[in-house]
Structure 1
Amino acid sequence: MYLTDSLRELIAGRLGRFEQRGLSATDSRRAAVALALIEEGTGALLPGIDAPTAWSRSAAVLLTRRSARLRNHPGQWALPGGSIDDSESPEQAALRELHEEVGLRLEETSILGRLDDFVTRSGFSITPIVVWAGEARELEPSASEVASIHRIPVSEFMRADAPWLDPIEDSEQPVLRMPVGLTWIAAPTAAFIYQFREVCIAGRTTRVAHFEQPMFARQ
């Protein structure tokens, strides 16, 4: 799957027809994340994922590993994002965080649409914004927030063994994880990626807000 104009039109069209569900919870803080479609390029390697032999135009999702020095969710997989300022829309916040965390500045014309909100156990109501990032060859991780930047091929998220659904003692709903190479990503990030796969690539309306997070992601 290549990052082409036809793919952009396909995803924008499916998001345009998708009935996005906004959620809120008492005392939750509003946040936004950017699910950025980007060329695979030569991003940081992961066990079990082959590196491209040259700069690749295959479609990928931009992910980060959070800095181990952060107070909240240190070292975890994440989409670039953070709290929404009072004067911002979720789209504006997602683009701002994308620039602050990985040095990628995009215009509002790059926005393709929204996926469903997800209320986390740690007290955030997160709106995922799907954006078109193109080549984005020059990325720079924020020294204070990001340990590493990764371009994960979209094909990796289409694996037949995904998602993984694990029972957890304190909830009737399972924990959702997405396998990546020889490792995995947990909800809420995994929930956004899974819904992106289902809605934007497979063309299936799939809800994810009910899935649980593992205990370590609730802090």
Structure 2
Amino acid sequence: MAMTENFKCNKCTCQLPYFLPCEVSLHNTTKDCWVSYRGSVYDLTELCNLRKGHQGIELIIAYAGKDISHWSYDNAKEHVAFGESINSTVNNRPSWLDDKYMRGNLTKNARPCRIINVLTGTEAVILICEEDTVARIQERFLGFNAHGTSYTWKFEGLPIDTNCTLTENGIVDERERFLEAGLPDDTYIPAILCYYNDDLTEQ
């Protein structure tokens, strides 16, 4: 599985969830403030509450739900003008990059996933993270089908390993190839077929 580039952290980034940029963008208020920075996602809501009214917090709030990778720093000196309380460092990093605020990783590739319910004939195209395992994609799909875990997922007639990503299952993202050929990037989206197991899973 691809790993995001970020600072050394006590948390194992491979165990943290991956987020789409559009998911981070939903957290865009003072009461729910997330940002992404160099491939990592941080929840700065607590910091905004603790430092309410302090110099620099307004800038963080202004970028709530956005990527702030351009706020790079060198030797713990911010290129962005923060107040002293915000600019204080922890383990040679700004306090707003403290490990306790990290919630996960920002995907390196948001890709579409086409899922077809063989039983009902319905289908949906959802946006997923390249790094998502199929098990995680099944969790995302529960919003469309509460019994999503009661299905066996297959691609081209073969069962899919739910512990692996789509790419690791041989379902690659070919959008760049289509664009290079002068075709729309959604010319073809591989279809995953879902077969109902009839195990009476409760909603």
TM-score, structure 1 as length reference:
0.26
